[in-house]
Amino acid sequence: MSDTASSASGAAAYRPRGRGPLRRILGEPLGGLGAGLVALAVLGAIFAGVIAVHDPITIAPIDRFLAPSGDHPFGTDNLGRDLFARVLFGSRIALSVSLGATFLSLLLGVSAGLVAGYGPRWLDNGLLLVFDALKSFPTVMLALFLVTLTGPSLQAVVLVVIIANAPSYARMARTQTMSLRHAEFVLAEQSLGAGAVRIISTHILPNIIGPLLIVASMDIPVVVAIEAGMSFLGLGVRPPTPSWGSILNDGFSYIRESPWPVLAGGLPIIVTTLGFTFLGEALRDAFDPKRSGGEKR
């Protein structure tokens, strides 16, 4: 798992280390493409109200299953709602859930990992077991199970994302913390009388957070997929709120009558997951000291 599309394309190109990481990301063809696709999704979410001519939830039964046209760029769904508007407003749900849930997973995962890595052995063993247990649930099964308990909601989606992703961040943070806890600067701080909280928050955390941020950013497409997947199964946002998954769900019921709703629901998911993946890969390559600059394989 150490080679990537983007590094392969830059076969023998030599890059001086002095170039800024941003230039390096955008300089890679795929990094630039990824950034473009992500920008498309973000701009769509921010300016949804300005770009969309129609309202995403107004029903117009006469106009059902219209093919794409100038007035309805993506066509209309089974209730005659404008799919383009629904896709645009759906990006708000997709982006806010994926960013918010990823942030929460990082926060909880890293905190637990720091405690496990710095705390006593018994606590470490106990937490490791919890991480492994949480990681063992097949994500969709977990989602279906949790939703039977809580009912479908965005909070349920966020909870599923946290349970699915936080254990890996916790494990990473734990391993890194353990490798640092006997480092000289930590011992020096301990001998100066610093408490565990201070050592963890001001000395260990800044040293381990970089790689974790990159891993989390590469997980964003996965989170977008979880949100869309749960909404597709009717476990996420409630109708009539537009989400890409619920557009797919509505369209899937009528897939034999019109292909447009399904195509409109799937397209933004593909664009966003590809965008974040390409961008994440470029980000990782740019910040990985082993591959940024110098010779690449």
Partner 1 sequence: MLTYAVKRLGLALAVVGAVIAVVFVMIYVIPGDPAAVALGPRASPALVAELRQRMGLDRPLPIQIVRFYGSVLSGHLGNDILSNESVLTIILGLMPHTLRLILGAMSWSILLGIPLGCLSAMRPGSIFDRITAVLSVSVIAVPAFVIAIYALLIFSIGLHWFPAIGAGEDPMDELYHLVLPSLAIGLGWVGYIARMLRASILDVQGENHVRTARAFGLSERKIVFDYVLRIAILPTLTVLGIGIGQMLSSAVFAEIVFARPGIGKLVYDAIITRNYPIVTGTVLVTTAFFVLVNLIADLFIAWLDPRVRYSLQR
Q: Which residue has the tokens 């990082």?
A: 106
The site for partner 1, by CB under 8 A, has a size of 55
Sole window of 60-68, 76-84, 184-192, 266-274 interacting with partner 1 (rule: CB under 8 A)? 266-274
Instruction: Return phi, psi of residue 76, to 5°.
Output: -130, 165
Applying CB under 8 A, among 102, 277, 285, 286 the residue interacting with partner 1 is: 277
Binding residues among 121-150 for partner 1 as defined by CB under 8 A: 129-130, 132-134, 136-142, 144-150
Applying CB under 8 A, among 89, 118, 169, 232 the residue interacting with partner 1 is: 232
Binding residues among 21-50 for partner 1 as defined by CB under 8 A: 30
Q: What whole-number distance in Å separates Cα of residue 123 and Cα of residue 174?
A: 12
DSSP string, 199-254: IIIIIIHHHHHHHHHHHHHHHHHHHHHHHHHHHHTT-SSPTTS--HHHHHHHHHHT
Look up residue 128 and give its two tokens. Answer: 């490791």
Applying CB under 8 A, among 45, 104, 213, 263 the residue interacting with partner 1 is: 263
Q: Are 73 and 88 in contact (CB under 8 A)?
A: no
104 binds partner 1 (CB under 8 A): no
- Least CB distance to partner 1 at residue 152 (A): 9
- The DSSP code for 82 is B
Q: Which is nearer to partner 1, 12 or 192 (CB)?
A: 12
Q: Which of 275, 223, 262, 216 has its CA nearest to residue 43?
A: 275
Applying CB under 8 A, among 74, 84, 169, 278 the residue interacting with partner 1 is: 278
281 binds partner 1 (CB under 8 A): yes
Number of H helices, E strands in the chain: 13, 0
Q: What whole-number distance in Å separates Cα of residue 82 and Cα of residue 159?
A: 31
Region label for 151, one of left (φ > 0), alpha (ψ between -120 and 50) or beta (otherwise)? left
Sole window of 49-57, 194-202, 225-233, 283-291 interacting with partner 1 (rule: CB under 8 A)? 225-233
Q: What whole-number distance in Å separates Cα of residue 5 and Cα of residue 114?
A: 33
182 binds partner 1 (CB under 8 A): no
Q: Which is nearer to partner 1, 34 or 56 (CB)?
A: 34
Q: Are 107 and 163 in contact (CB under 8 A)?
A: no
Q: What whole-number distance in Å separates Cα of residue 20 and Cα of residue 289?
A: 13
274 binds partner 1 (CB under 8 A): yes
285 binds partner 1 (CB under 8 A): no
79 binds partner 1 (CB under 8 A): no
Applying CB under 8 A, among 221, 236, 243, 247 the residue interacting with partner 1 is: 221
Sole window of 88-96, 165-173, 206-214, 228-236 interacting with partner 1 (rule: CB under 8 A)? 228-236
68 binds partner 1 (CB under 8 A): no
Q: Are 116 and 128 in contact (CB under 8 A)?
A: yes
Interface with partner 1 by CB under 8 A: which residues? 1-5, 8-9, 11-12, 30, 129-130, 132-134, 136-142, 144-151, 221, 224-225, 228-229, 232-233, 235, 248, 252, 255-256, 259, 262-263, 266, 269-270, 273-274, 276-278, 281, 297
